Structure 1
Amino acid sequence: MKSTSAGALAKRLKAAFPDRELIVRSQGQVRFIRFSSGMQKAASGVAVSLVGAWCVSMGAMALSQFSASTEQAALATREAKVADAASKVAKYRDNLDGTVADLARRQQFIEKMIDAHIGELPEETETPAAPPTPASKLSAALPEASKLQQIKSSQLALVDRLTRYADHRATLASDTIRKLGLNPAPMMARARSKVAEGGPLERLATGADGSLDPRFRRLGLSLARMDALENGLASIPQVQPAHVAYVSSSYGYRSDPFNGSAAFHAGLDFPGPMGSPIYAAAKGKVSFVGQRQGYGNCIEISHGNGLMTRYGHLSAFGVRVGQDVDGGTRIAAMGSTGRSTGPHLHFEVRVNNRPMNPRPFLEAARNVQQEAR
């Protein structure tokens, strides 16, 4: 079978390349040039080889050019990706720096509010970890962003808890003031008034543009409301003005000690040894030191919002007009001046110059103030 195929191929080649003769006439002479079948086959082979080599060379050149073009395109793509990645990293780092700065400002706001209004945090309220400074950041990596987000979430959770804590204390103080028959609204109005205020500006902000996060602003307002109401409550009589065992005469109806007729007693009488210390029932400013008819030597302390306490029948003064005092400050000595049958303190509580029973103030205010604190 193979020999038959080879023979057929040989016949085809012989038919394609028969022996040929070329007749050439030159200068009257005739020459015969013979091209045998083998010579034609060899020449054809050489020609085919040359053409093949040329094709291979051209193909290699084309392939080389294509490869170089592909590599250049790939290199350009890689360079573009690197540039884009570098831009993203730089942008991310800038955002990270901004986030760290914002967290630091938020932390400063929280710390200032705690120091100014609360002092020590309730046990269930914890301060979040302080944000890292730019010098402590290692790189602009995703895990760092996650940690910063956790710090931000912790700060916002703390702000929310502090706001609720301040609102709770403000509600306790407001309820106490109402139980004593007083209106807390004037205390709030006084806190919002802009009379006699000043000082250098120390702006509080949570954003680089000076803005304040609404949640932080809400915290500040809640703490200011708490302070106003608790200061108002602290100005309500709640300290026993004399350390004595009992009250000799209560507020209201009684028989006059001099003539026995029906009379109205506008305060409480605390009997004790001559010269016993007398204390301010609440914080305030001394508004009067001197003598008043029926009271003898007398001291009056203004506590704001129309509230005033009066201390009568004193034997000595320990304060001056305009002096600020705290609840429990020693202001005088017990005596028996004025319309008095013996050493005692006559104590009054007045609201807008209208006498009120001091007993509820001394009993209820002290207990609820302790609960609020």
Structure 2
Amino acid sequence: MKNIAAGRAIARLRSWFPDREFFMRSEGQVRFIKISSRTQMIAAGAATAFVLVWALSMATMALSSYLSAHDRASLLHREAKVATAESRVNAYRDDLGKVKDDLNRRQDFIEKTVQAHMGDLPKDGKAGETVSDSTSEAAATVKKVSLELPEAAALAAIEARQLTFIEGLTRIADRRAAAAEAKLASLGVNPQMALAAMDDRAAQGGPLIPMATAADGSIDPRFQRFGLSLARMEALERSVAGLPQVLPASLEYISSGFGFRANPFTGGGGEFHPGLDFKGPYGAPIYAAAPGVVSFVGQRSGYGNCVEIDHGNGLVTRYAHMSGFRTVQGKPVIAGEVIGLIGSTGRSTGPHLHFEVRINDRPVNPRPFLEAAPHVFEKVGSAPASNSAR
């Protein structure tokens, strides 16, 4: 089979290159030149080999030129990248002053905004305060950075401003918390009940979103202390906001005060009156004295139609002798919201509102609570007290 295939290939080549004869005429003579098939094939092979060698050499030269050009381009690219990085570093160093100025302007904005809403922040501590004072430490840090890394001195100074600012915020939060705590204590409300709510982790949840002041996830103790001080201030001030500070009825006059009084029905003997009586027309509105949740709507012995509002921390206000209800049990109310109408139900000699403040189910004088609202009792001082309504 191989011999047959080879024979066929040779026959085909010979068909491409048949014996050829050429004649030439010169000076009246004719010459014949014969080129055999074998000679033509040898010549064709030599020509093909020459073309292949030439093409291969040209391809090699082209590839070498390409690789050389690629290497030069790569080198130039790397040089350009190095030059660009160095120029950016130099530009950043040259522009560090602008970065410092921008940070200072932002800090100025923050401090002025806080000052507008909270007043001047205290820079010096008071006796008994436990807020840290980083002034000396920050000054030493700025000095050391200035010596060892002069270009970062401005950033160290801004960091010192931040620490002074956060410590000032912590001091004012602590002082506001102390003022709220003193106010609660002066009214007989235990501040620890408000603070206990901070440690109550029942009914809490949500996604975990850690807060940190460093890239490694840690938090500076001064910032952590600030967060705790804010939480304490908020809990105490929220309790103060829940104190009765709104008149529960339009003030005509107080017809009976808190404490000892004569029997309103007989005029003799004596009895303890656990609240304040606000005389008013039948059907006049009665208002919630503070925000809270309505805990009772109904009748109580001696009180007639009665509404009670729970303000948290053991504090409850009671509104009695109503002619009608305008709220329901379990409803959250805001200070000044209408909850009922003045009447004379229960043990009463005429239309009025009996208003009580109770702490842990013990009645206390409502007047100090209401006096916390500015000018709330201006009319009371000029109005004569009466025992006409109890």
TM-score interval for Structure 1 and Structure 2 normalised by the shorter chain: 0.5 to 0.7
User: What is residue 117 of structure 2 aligned with on the other side?
Assistant: 121
In structure 2, give the amino acid aligned to 1:302. Answer: D
Matched position secondary structure for 1:248: strand
Cα distance in 1 between the residues matched to 2:116 and 2:289: 26
User: In terms of mean alpha carbon deviation, does 148-157 or 226-235 score higher?
Assistant: 148-157
| Of 199, 202, 206, the match for 1:192 | 199
Cα distance change on mapping 1:330 and 1:255 into 2, 3 Å: same
Matched position secondary structure for 2:328: coil
Cα distance change on mapping 1:187 and 1:119 into 2, 3 Å: farther
Tell me by how many angstroms 1:120 deviates.
6.5
Once the two structures are superposed, what CA deviation does each residue of 1:10-51 show, in whole Å capped at 9, x if it has no partner? xxxxxxxxxxxxxxxxxxxxxxxxxxxxxxxxxxxxxxxxxx
Cα distance in 2 between the residues matched to 1:245 and 1:147: 65
Tell me by how many angstroms 1:319 deviates.
1.8
The answer to whether structure 1 residue 269 and structure 2 residue 277 are counterparts is yes
Cα distance in 2 between the residues matched to 1:197 and 1:119: 33
| Of 296, 315, 323, the match for 2:323 | 315
Cα distance in 1 between the residues matched to 2:221 and 2:237: 24
Q: Paired residues, what number?
A: 251
The answer to whether structure 1 residue 156 and structure 2 residue 163 are counterparts is yes
User: What is residue 61 of structure 2 aligned with on the other side?
Assistant: none
Tell me by how many angstroms 1:233 deviates.
1.1
User: What is residue 228 of structure 1 aligned with on the other side?
Assistant: 235
Residues 348-363 of structure 1 mapped to structure 2, 5 A cutoff: 348-363=356-371
In structure 2, give the amino acid aligned to 1:225. Answer: R
Matched position secondary structure for 2:254: coil
Cα distance change on mapping 1:336 and 1:120 into 2, 3 Å: farther
Cα distance in 1 between the residues matched to 2:291 and 2:173: 22
Residues 207-246 of structure 1 mapped to structure 2, 5 A cutoff: 207-246=214-253
Larger radius of gyration: 1
Cα distance in 2 between the residues matched to 1:120 and 1:273: 45
Q: Which runs of 5+ in 2 are unaligned?
A: 1-81, 123-148, 376-390
Cα distance change on mapping 1:208 and 1:306 into 2, 3 Å: same
In structure 1, give the amino acid aligned to 2:365. Answer: N
| Of 312, 318, 342, the match for 1:334 | 342
Identity %: 56
Cα distance in 2 between the residues matched to 1:325 and 1:191: 23
Cα distance change on mapping 1:318 and 1:248 into 2, 3 Å: same
Once the two structures are superposed, what CA deviation does each residue of 1:308-362 show, in whole Å capped at 9, x if it has no partner? 1100011222222111222222222211122212111000111111111111221
The alignment's C-alpha RMSD in Å is: 3.3
Cα distance in 2 between the residues matched to 1:329 and 1:222: 32
Matched position secondary structure for 2:253: coil
Matched position secondary structure for 2:256: coil
Tell me by how many angstroms 1:274 deviates.
1.6
User: What is residue 332 of structure 2 aligned with on the other side?
Assistant: 324
Cα distance in 2 between the residues matched to 1:119 and 1:202: 29
Once the two structures are superposed, what CA deviation does each residue of 1:251-306 show, in whole Å capped at 9, x if it has no partner? 11112222334221111100011222211112211100111121111100111121
In structure 1, give the amino acid aligned to 2:311. Answer: H
Cα distance in 2 between the residues matched to 1:310 and 1:215: 44
Cα distance in 1 between the residues matched to 2:311 and 2:249: 19
**Is contact 2:288-2:339 (8 Å) kept?**
yes
